[in-house]
């Protein structure tokens, strides 16, 4: 199983990776930009089985919405982990959401979706 973490804040990315790695011994892929995540998404040799996505990425205004749409189209479960959950578009409101700052158990609660 491969889990994608798309998070632009390095400390938060490390926290998420530790939480996920503690639950799954499988492959965890961490991307800090939309471009990095898109490379993983388009890599035909690598299948993403679950993802944790920060909505707002960096100061350039980019978001994880293109990755979220690809995951939805492929029916891959994911969760938004974001301080700006109110900015999630209406068609994606049914996707699980964890607001930042988060507690480890909030992330652990969404991980069964990856199983």
In angstroms, rounded to a whole number, what is the distance separating the alpha carbons of residues 85 and 3?
Answer: 21
Rounded to a whole number of angstroms, the distance between the first and last alpha carbons of the chain is 9
- The answer to whether the CB of 104 falls within 8 A of the CB of 19 is yes
CATH number for 104:
3.40.50.2300
| Domain range for 15 | 2-114
Counting other chains too, the contacts that 36-42 makes at CB distance below 8 Å and 24 or more residues apart are 36/6, 37/4, 37/6, 37/64, 37/67, 38/66, 38/67, 40/4, 41/4, 41/67, 41/70, 41/71
- pLDDT tens per residue across span 65-112: 999 999 999 999 999 999 998 999 999 999 999 999 999 999 999 988
pLDDT at 23 over 90: no
Domain count, the chain: 1
């Amino acid at each position: 199983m491969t889990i994608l973490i798309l998070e632009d804040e390095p400390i938060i990315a490390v926290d998420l990776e530790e939480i996920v790695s503690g639950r799954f011994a499988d492959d965890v892929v961490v991307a800090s930009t939309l471009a990095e995540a898109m490379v993983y998404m388009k890599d035909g040799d690598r299948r993403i089985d679950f993802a944790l996505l920060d909505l707002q990425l960096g100061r350039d205004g980019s978001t994880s919405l293109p990755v979220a749409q690809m995951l939805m189209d492929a029916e891959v479960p994911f969760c938004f982990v974001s301080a700006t959950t109110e900015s999630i578009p209406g068609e994606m409101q049914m996707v699980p959401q964890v607001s930042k700052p988060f507690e480890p158990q909030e992330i652990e609660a969404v991980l069964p979706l990856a199983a």
